[in-house]
Structure 1
């Protein structure tokens, strides 16, 4: 009978935690893990629509961060939080430029509509 190492390690860690009274670390809730720590405004999931053509979706809240690709007019994004004039969100569907659905990144507020 061949046991996989990860299964044995997990079982050993759980046994150790139970016998020593030390709790196991768990991952944060999905909503907290999906928002970057650089957010200063948190507002949950709000629908946003891109209002311009060929805007960059960036890896951080300024133009100094790398572009992940382009978004085009009427691409939809679920906004989660913001920092200054920048908003962090996730594409709700494949973008017109071909970015996959659920790609997350930062966009500037001047290119967004329906922020409420």
Structure 2
């Protein structure tokens, strides 16, 4: 944490520490709250998390930006953006629920931003 204070400033380090505690608190809440909801396709999502839906009929799901193709995501598959960079069309996403192509819940990969729509 001292490294963060020196590089980012005290206010930013405090905000990051608070965020880490919140994320840790969500993870420590237990697996009962993270269990599937009423149907197998619905999963618990932390409050305030903005999910996105795939709008393309078939979207390449990659291991890295413009890298090896892991498989395809199809229209309606739900993801949330884990990482994005200014000026880059690539975003790292995590699947919310099982994809139509069979990828399990929480699978991570990269897709092109243009084919996602906030849901």
Scaled by the length of structure 1, the TM-score of the pair is 0.56
Please list, as runs of the form range in 1=range in 2, the aligned pairs for 1:14-33 lying within 5 A after superposition. none
CA deviations on 1:35-70 (whole Å, 9 max, x unpaired) are: xxxxxxxxxx531110012211111112xx111111
**1:82: how far off?**
1.1
TM-score, normalised relative to structure 2:
0.55
* 1:88 aligned onto 2:114: no
1:113 CA drift (Å): 0.3
Counterparts of 2:70 and 2:106, CA distance in 1? 13
**Which consecutive segments of 4 or more residues in structure 1 shift more than 4 A?**
none
Bigger CA radius of gyration: 1
> Separation in 1 of the partners of 2:59 and 2:99?
12
Relative contact order, higher structure (CA 8 A, sep 6+) = 1
Return the structure number with greater strand share. 1
Kindly report which structure 2 residues correspond to 1:60-71, keeping only aligned pairs within 5 A, or say none.
60-62=64-66, 65-71=67-73
Q: What is the total number of aligned residue pairs between the two structures?
A: 72
Alignment of 1:75 with 2:69, yes or no, is no
Q: CA RMSD in A?
A: 2.0
Does structure 2 conserve the Cα–Cα contact (< 8 Å) formed by 1:46 and 1:80? no
Stretches of structure 2 lacking an aligned partner (at least 5 in a row): 1-19, 24-48
Alignment gaps of 5+ in structure 1: 1-28, 32-44
